[in-house]
Chains A and B, each alone.
Chain A
Amino acid sequence: MNRRNAIRLTLIALLVGLALSEVLIPNAPSMSESSPGNNTLGMRLGLDLSGGIHLVYEADLTDIGNETAAEAMDGVVDIISRRVNAYGVSEPVIQKQGGDRISIQLPGIKDMQAAVDLVGQTAELDFRELTSESWEFVTQFIDQGLQLDYETLTQEGTIEWVPATAIGSAGQEAHLTGKYLERDTYVEIDQNTNEPRVRFAFNSEGAELFAQITGRLIEKPLGIFLDDGYVSSPTVKSKIEGGTGVIENMSLNDARDLAILLNAGALPVSLGHWDRGTFLSGPAVQDEVDPTLGADSLQKSLIAGAVGLILVLLFMAFFYRLPGVLAGCTLIIYGILVLAAFKLIPVTLTLAGIAAFILSIGMAVDANVLIFERLKEELRAGRTLGGAIEAGFNRAWTAIRDSNVTTLIICGILYWMGSNFAEPRVMGFALTLAIGVALSMFSAIVITRTFLRLFVGTRIAGHLWLFGAQRSEQTPGSEE
């Protein structure tokens, strides 16, 4: 074993060790923070493979005409899809049920309350100012230099807020609300206090209103309310022309959730349930359900898949002898690497993803088969093992490169088009396949080759039948 190969082998062992720990440790690092893993290994599974929460909400359509009701329900489906996607739950199933209900299935969420909060909130942000009486009341305390707790005062009803309005572009008075927000609200950390806050930006209309209102309220509090609940009331220091602002006074998790809600937009109607003619908050139905493909059915499929993979390994060992066994080892390592990548990125695993995974295993096997067929040819042509390995790899490389690059092109286009038209299942397929193909190239070219080189110059190299080329006619240099 030469030194370079020893170094390669050590690096591969290190990589496999890292990948294995990523797979086996449930809370291993992941590149996305808000992505709850939902099975024992901490992988994220889609609704077809993992159970989840089933919610049914009724919409309050009392103030809405019949024609706009259908439109409003479509809007609800759209906004909830956006919220759920932003929250990091992939492939939810959101459907209209009857005329005024909406059925939502969220895979992998264990926390019913989190699901209910995410879906059920109307998320209407609005800006308010104190009534003149309340302002006068408050001023006495401010003049004494006291810090006021606006939140408690508001809840106690000691002070009152009225909508903050300004003159809009159409010339009439408009209330500044979340509907003027651009969809690029995000969470940032205040450099001075180290506290999280939500930064929002208005569109041009909203920025104009915001500038007028802040210009009027200098040294006064601007109340920020979400669904009629007090959130915060910063004191305006100067007129804000840029059209952006921040919402403070909340935990990091609350800030992140608020950003998701504001980016998705407010629901056109309230969701809740009817109880004897009264509209209440909370879902009409909240159940835990098993995967759409059925837990029983999946169990059987999992076993069947394992049987199939073992058959593949046996076939490889039988047909390609020693290289086949090595390729089997490579495939197992390949499996570990792919799972680690899925968890690290993280990828939501669904049936589509598994199809892509099987396809990429097929391509990984294929890459190995291509190399071994070439290896056999080279050995039969009378090369030494070392020479045959290098020649075999070099000649198999163009086919492996072209087929994998073409597949990557398909993946790229599907992912890009998928993201434009929001088809999560196609995107998931493309992403999973791309990861699988990239790693399969790596495993065939780097890992299999390193393993094979181990045998160069050893006594095993003399036994050509181990490489499936025992009937070699010693005709060096023969081309035909």
Chain B
Amino acid sequence: MFDFVSKRKLFFLGSGVVIFIGIISLIVSGLNLGLDFKPGVTMTLVFSEPVEQESLRAGFADIGYSDAVIQHSPKDAFLLEDFAPDTQEKDQLAEDLQAEFGTTIRTAEFASEGVGNGTLALIFGKTVSEADLGDELDNLGYGNVTFTSATLDSFLIRIGLPEEQDSEAVATDISEQERIKEALKAEFGAVDYLDYDSISQAVASERVRYTGYALLVAALGILLYIAWSFRKLASSFRFGVCAILALVHDVLIVLTIFSLFRLEVNSFFIIAVLTVIGYGVNNIIVVFDRIRENRGRHINASLDTVVNISITETLTRSLNTSLTTLFVLLALFLFGGSTIHNFVLALIVGVVACVYSSLFIASQLLVAWDHGELARLFKWIPIRRQGS
């Protein structure tokens, strides 16, 4: 039987180093907060050529907005060909048609390569027949303009801003609008904005804080339940405390990876953290349950031996369950859509951390506590601080 328990300082050191680096990284550079937590810009783009959603996503990543949320929203439009009025004339036409049909009209212009000529796309708020539009254009003196109807690829897009920028300022910043448009035009063909506006953040930060409070209360609940369930053992509350410490460890590992590699944190990240906690509790308790059982069976053995037997006995089960979970997650990570990439990554890191901590942290902390090592550790920290 492999002796896990005597290696515990190695395990603590390994996790300690990772978490130490993580905490430094969190203090220095923090987390890369995504779109959900910061104000940004919303825009509706309409393209003259068909555009694949996934390639548009890549296109936005290329111009610096890897966190763009892109929703496809195709629109029925009338294309007025070889027709490039100036802004005033265009607005007047839109207003006249709007008044006549009693609905909102949005316009987009697709400039063509030739001089002066282009295509004007009219997008009505309700269904309008081709014949009616023809009649009305005649009335307004545009009888010579030819038009076709088409369904255009259009996308509703939200992008986040670097934190130092003010979303109001960016929304009115024409140069950024032009930059995005030119970059997209080079890749996807003629494109125009239907709107471009600043937008408030989607998830209020206080909600994240409340979720944190909820987790603190949940930790207390776990502590009490475990203490009660293991009440037949001496100092059963230690099991609860060690479980909580192992869970904190798991969450810190996930935070470390995300902070260190500047991975984007959006509101789904919170869910990933909650999932990791649920998974971690499950793993820790299975090992603890074995310890509880073996404690009764090997009455004269030391806690070291009992923990070691229990880890060995649950090893197959721990590896099997985590492998099955990782199968699903890896499949999602490798073959799943790009929009849930970071979410799945957080889960993968979390699951690995959970398996590691259930075997090498939670129960080893029990042993360390039994040996009085934890108390020494806490004495050791302030002494070192004074010394440095």
9 further A-B contacts with Cβ under 8 Å, apart from A301-B340, A308-B331, A395-B293, are: A95-B202, A289-B156, A311-B327, A351-B340, A359-B279, A414-B211, A421-B206, A426-B211, A429-B271
For residue A288, CB closer than 8 A to chain B, the reply is: yes
Q: Mark B209-247, 1 if CB is under 8 A from A, else 0.
A: 011011101100110011001000000000000000000
Nearest CB of chain A from residue B254's CB, rounded to whole Å: 14
For residue A158, CB closer than 8 A to chain B, the reply is: no
Q: Which of B200, B215, B289, B337 is within 8 Å of A294, CB to CB?
A: B337
**Chain A residues packing against B (C-beta within 8 Å):** 51, 54, 56, 93, 95-99, 101, 103, 273, 275-276, 282, 284-301, 303-305, 307-309, 311-312, 315-316, 319, 351-352, 355-356, 358-359, 361-363, 365-366, 369-370, 373, 395, 398-399, 402-407, 409-410, 412-414, 417-418, 420-423, 425-426, 429, 433, 479
Q: Which of B104, B335, B347 is within 8 Å of A303, CB to CB?
A: B335
Interface of chain B residues 247 through 306 with chain A (CB within 8 A): 267-268, 270-272, 274-275, 277-279, 281-282, 285-286, 288-290, 292-293, 297
Name the residue of chain B whose CB is nearest to the CB of A410.
B218
| Chain B residues touching A, range | 35 or more
Q: Which of B114-122, B174-182, B314-322 contacts A (4 or more CB under 8 A)?
A: B314-322
The secondary structure that dominates the B interface is helix
> Contact between B286 and A54 (Cβ–Cβ < 8 Å)?
no
> Contact between B69 and A292 (Cβ–Cβ < 8 Å)?
yes
**Measured CA separation A305–B328 after assembly (Å):** 6
For residue B73, CB closer than 8 A to chain A, the reply is: yes
Q: Which of B24-32, B52-60, B366-374 contacts A (4 or more CB under 8 A)?
A: B52-60
Name the residue of chain B whose CB is nearest to the CB of A96.
B200
Question: Hey, which chain B residues are within 8 Å of A404, CB to CB?
Answer: 282
**Measured CA separation A143–B274 after assembly (Å):** 70
> Contact between A414 and B214 (Cβ–Cβ < 8 Å)?
yes
**Measured CA separation A420–B214 after assembly (Å):** 10
For residue B308, CB closer than 8 A to chain A, the reply is: no
**Measured CA separation A166–B191 after assembly (Å):** 60
> Contact between A406 and B226 (Cβ–Cβ < 8 Å)?
yes
> Contact between B271 and A297 (Cβ–Cβ < 8 Å)?
no
For residue B332, CB closer than 8 A to chain A, the reply is: yes
Q: Which of A291, A296, A298, A303 is within 8 Å of B52, CB to CB?
A: A296
Nearest CB of chain B from residue A305's CB, rounded to whole Å: 6
17 contacts between A and B (CB under 8 A): A98-B198, A287-B154, A293-B340, A294-B54, A294-B70, A296-B54, A300-B337, A301-B337, A303-B335, A304-B336, A308-B330, A312-B327, A358-B328, A369-B320, A406-B222, A410-B274, A414-B274
Question: Hey, which chain B residues are within 8 Å of A319, CB to CB?
Answer: 320
Question: Hey, which chain B residues are within 8 Å of A433, CB to CB?
Answer: 278
For residue B338, CB closer than 8 A to chain A, the reply is: yes
Q: Which of A290, A304, A398 is within 8 Å of B332, CB to CB?
A: A304
Question: Hey, which chain B residues are within 8 Å of A418, CB to CB?
Answer: 211, 214
Q: Which of A103, A304, A363 is within 8 Å of B42, CB to CB?
A: A103
> Contact between B156 and A54 (Cβ–Cβ < 8 Å)?
yes
> Contact between B73 and A294 (Cβ–Cβ < 8 Å)?
no
For residue B131, CB closer than 8 A to chain A, the reply is: no
> Contact between B320 and A297 (Cβ–Cβ < 8 Å)?
no
Contacts A307-B335, A398-B292, A403-B282: A97 and B198 contacting too (C-beta < 8 A)? yes
Q: Which of B156, B211, B336 has the most CB of A within 10 A?
A: B336
Q: Which of A51, A297, A373, A426 is within 8 Å of B337, CB to CB?
A: A297
For residue B84, CB closer than 8 A to chain A, the reply is: no
Question: Hey, which chain A residues are within 8 Å of B221, CB to CB?
Answer: 409-410, 412-413
Nearest CB of chain A from residue B323's CB, rounded to whole Å: 7
**Measured CA separation A288–B57 after assembly (Å):** 19
Question: Hey, which chain A residues are within 8 Å of B317, CB to CB?
Answer: 366, 369-370, 373
